[in-house]
Amino acid sequence: MNPTPSRSTVLVVLAALLALAVVAVVLLWALRDEPSDARRTDGPLPQEPGTVLEVEPVAESPLAGSRAWRILYTTTDRDGEPVEASAAVYAPEDSTLTDLPVLVWGHGTSGFARDCSPSLQQDPMAAGSMYVGDEVLRRGWVLVAPDFPGVGADGEQPYLIGEGAGRTMLDAARAAREVDGLSTSPRTAVWGFSQGGHAALWAGGLQPTYAPELELDGVAALAPATFLRETFDRLPAQDRIFAAYTMASYDAAYDDVSWGDYASDEAESFGRKLAAECLPDPQAYSELAEEVMSFQDGAIFDQYFADGAMGRRLGENEPELPVPAPLLLAQGSADTVVPAERQAEFATRACARDQVLDYLTVEGRDHLGLVLEDSPLYPDLFAWTDARLAGEPGPTVCARATAGRG
């Protein structure tokens, strides 16, 4: 027979339940603006790329005077299969504005793990290396910042895997135009930095066949990863976190690429641990660089990436497709991750293919310094993009200049 609870016991239980209810309400309010990283639709993904699966308005945009949404949409992986990707969409606060051009931003490396997507970070602009978002919106453009599959959504991240990354960019432009409350024009430009610059070049090359309905007016690739077979074997030791991300990506994507072929068991364990770390801001990068140097002075890999299956796969993902749209290529002269002399060679090759190209160098700027807010690049970049979105043709010859000098 159960005893009858005393009045004091009942009060204690009621108080505990009330406390739990309060905690639940607080948590719900705290989480209501957190990004979703899981698809809420059931069943197979739609086959049509660029289909929006979910839209979440963001109550407090990281960009002042803007409206913002987080979207989940479909794109296509390198095998042609539908996968999910997430993106942040920002628009000017004035909802009466119409026919807004769309700018797709391919972010710099933020990490390889699922929770490393820029839109999941406390400062998504810094995490995505986008330091001029306010100016983008002041010009009356819609800013679309895809996270890439595998970060913020299911699937494998196509880190430096050209077709998957380029398609993600193009499908972000498609998906943004489905957001209710946005009035967009057909005009589209693509910018990308580092990893995102590689994706931007692939997007420009794939657009005629993959997304022919998009009006792609210009592609700007800022310190893009181009000569992949050489890049990682020449990296300074403190920058080899990028090699760990790339090995993690290719090991997951290709059956013939394996960590064990390029690193000892101990180094593989260390490298996999590194590849799980995120880069939400420059400070995090500095800390990871110190961690890299703590392991055999950064000697994670004992075989050259240019050799064997890794070298072949890297070669397949070098951005060699012609880009029908006008192209701007920008490079810092002090970059150690993507050396300026190699980027100049990439520009020379593009010019030999009759690419409509502006090639800008920024004196004294290293890899990240190229895109920081005070970079001399931006007046030239914005002027170039303004002209492309206004329908002006790019230069008829391969143009070379130093940014900030007229």
Q: Is the dihedral of CA 26, 32, 38, 44 positive or negative?
A: positive
Check residue 136 and give its pLDDT.
Answer: 98
pLDDT attached to residue 154: 80
Average pLDDT over the chain reads 88
Separation of first and last alpha carbons in the chain:
92
Query: Of the ranges 82-91, 214-223, 277-286, which one carries the lowest mean pLDDT score?
Result: 277-286
pLDDT band of residue 405 (cuts 50, 70, 90) is: low
Task: Order across the sheet with 82-92: list the strands.
Answer: 52-57, 66-76, 82-92, 142-146, 100-106, 184-193, 215-222, 327-332, 357-362, 399-402
Q: For position 387, what pLDDT does the model report?
A: 97
pLDDT at 22: 35
Rounded-to-integer distance, Cα 147 and Cα 128, Å? 9
Is residue 16 scored above 90 in pLDDT? no
- State how far the Cα of 378 lies from the Cα of 360, in Å rounded to an integer: 11
23 pLDDT exceeds 80? no
Q: What is the pLDDT of residue 195?
A: 97
Neighbours of 25 (CB within 10 A): 10
Judged by average pLDDT, the poorest of 107-116, 151-160, 224-233, 373-382 is 151-160
Q: What is the pTM of this model?
A: 0.88
pLDDT the model gives residue 150: 82
pLDDT attached to residue 42: 60
The confidence score (pLDDT) of residue 182 equals 95
Residue whose pair of structure tokens reads 């797709």 in the numeric block? 104
Mean of pLDDT values over 342-353: 94
pLDDT of residue 399: 77
CA dihedral of 377, 383, 386, 392, whole degrees rounded to 10: -120
pLDDT of residue 376: 96
Percent of the chain residues topping a pLDDT of 70 = 89
| Nearest one of 296, 228, 302 to 259, comparing CA atoms | 302
pLDDT digits (tens, 9 = 90+) for 86-99: 999 999 999 999 99
- Compute the average pLDDT of residues 79-107: 95
pLDDT reported for residue 138: 96
Is the pLDDT reported for residue 354 higher than 80? yes
Report the distance separating Cα 149 and Cα 131, nearest Å.
23
Percent of the chain with pLDDT over 90: 74
Exposed / middle / buried, residue 246 (Cβ in 10 Å: 0-12, 13-18, 19+): buried
User: Interior CA angle at 369 toward 333 and 291, to 5°?
Assistant: 105
Report the interhelical angle of 195-210 vs 162-176 (nearest 10°).
70
Per-residue pLDDT, averaged over 194-206, amounts to: 98
